[in-house]
């Protein structure tokens, strides 16, 4: 075997260190508990959210396996899930995680297998279960009060007061339902419906009180290739991370939405063409400078976005004109090499 020179060894060590930094960067962006396990389910890497849920310091986790933090009654289901992942399937099942404090935390496990090991995301179900239990408790309580009202006339006023309280809760639930109807399930940002409604309002407002108004259409370059190479779970994490990076690139007064698939939009209020181009380039750089897992397999060797910019003017004077102009600019950015802005 040919021995490596000191220079070759240093190069390999540097490459390995960069790979570690890249993975740490994207792990810290993921807002949910995320684990990387080896073939024996030993903990290789966990993100800060996972350490918070598990309650173990990193040095203790390195001496444990996933089997050490799950209940015995769930071992069979977990082994089945890992076998399915080894066969190339993405898995999703529910179990419990036992924290360092002994607390049993209900979670949903989403996992895939890659050459590096198992990539596992945990969704904490405690809040959802608490909400469901609280809802059932309150529903039963309300029904009991209604029964008491029918039985005991003297408690009629008490029941009426309770009814008013419940109406307030229902109004709150309606408001929450309305908020959710405007929110994209995966990324948590506004959805296409809200984008269209808000852009319509801004265009009408601009006609009455002329102020600069611009629109960004943002598309992840070669996203299908990333999905096909890394699986939909990894693709979903990229969508979430990119939505966060876009929000960091725009201003607080701007409105960011998921337009559809891997395409996002941003309504830039009180922003002329030059300001819109500056914001667009900031968004582009935010994504290009962030490291994503296995992005070297992309055709351009990294995860990037292309951005189309359009600004309201005498020739671009309607919602349709603004979207069409931004779409055309995005098409030019794609055609001229990607990872660029046009407008």
Catalytic residues: 262
Could you tell me the sign of the dihedral formed by the alpha carbons of 102, 94, 126, 142, in that order?
negative
Angle at 61 (CA atoms; ends 30, 187), nearest 5 degrees: 10
**What single DSSP character describes residue 62?**
T
Q: What is the DSSP string of 233-261?
A: HHHHHHHHHHHHHHHHHS-TTSEEEEEET
For residue 235, what are the contacts with CB-CB under 8 A and spacing of at least 6? 223, 226, 227
- CA–chain centroid gap for 315, Å, is 37
Per DSSP, the three-state class of 58 is helix
Q: What is the CA radius of gyration of the chain?
A: 26
Per DSSP, the three-state class of 272 is coil
Compute the CA torsion angle 176, 93, 260, 278 (nearest 10 deg): 80
User: Per the structure block, which two tokens stand in for 46?
Assistant: 């966990």
Distance CA 66, CA 58 (A): 14
Taking alpha carbons only, the member of 78, 75, 74 closest to residue 118 is 78
Per-residue burial over 113-122, b = 16 or more CB atoms within 10 Å of its CB, e = otherwise? beebbbbbbb
């Amino acid at each position: 075997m040919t021995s490596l020179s000191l220079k070759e060894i240093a190069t390999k060590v540097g490459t390995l260190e960069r790979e570690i930094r890249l993975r740490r960067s994207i792990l810290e962006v993921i807002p949910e508990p995320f684990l990387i396990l080896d073939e024996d389910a030993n903990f290789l890497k966990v993100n800060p959210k996972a350490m918070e849920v598990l309650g173990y310091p990193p040095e203790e986790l390195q001496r444990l396996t996933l089997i050490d933090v799950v209940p015995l009654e769930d071992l069979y289901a977990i082994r089945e899930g890992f076998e399915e992942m080894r066969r190339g399937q993405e898995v999703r099942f529910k179990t419990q995680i036992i924290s360092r404090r002994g607390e049993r935390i209900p979670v949903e496990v989403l996992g895939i297998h890659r050459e590096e090991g198992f990539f596992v995301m945990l969704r904490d179900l405690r809040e959802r279960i608490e909400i469901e239990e609280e809802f059932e408790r309150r529903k039963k309580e309300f029904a009991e009060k209604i029964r008491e009202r029918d039985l005991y006339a003297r408690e009629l006023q008490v029941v009426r007061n309770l009814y008013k309280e419940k109406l307030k809760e229902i109004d709150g639930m309606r408001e929450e339902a309305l908020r959710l109807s405007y929110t994209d399930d995966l990324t948590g940002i506004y959805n296409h419906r809200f984008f269209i409604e808000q852009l319509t309002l801004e265009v009408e407002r601009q006609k009455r009180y002329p102020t600069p108004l611009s629109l960004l259409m943002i598309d992840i370059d070669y996203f299908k290739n990333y999905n096909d190479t890394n699986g939909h779970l990894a693709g979903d994490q990229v969508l979430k991370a990119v939505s966060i990076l876009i929000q960091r690139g725009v201003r607080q007064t701007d409105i960011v939405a998921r337009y559809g698939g891997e395409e996002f939009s941003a309504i830039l209020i009180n922003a002329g063409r030059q300001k819109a181009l500056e914001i667009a380039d900031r968004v582009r750089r935010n994504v290009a400078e962030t490291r994503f897992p296995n992005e070297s397999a992309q055709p351009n060797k990294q995860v990037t976005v292309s951005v189309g910019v359009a600004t309201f003017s005498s020739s671009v004077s309607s919602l349709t004109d603004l979207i069409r102009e931004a779409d055309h600019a995005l098409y030019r950015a794609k055609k001229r090499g990607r990872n660029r802005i046009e407008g």
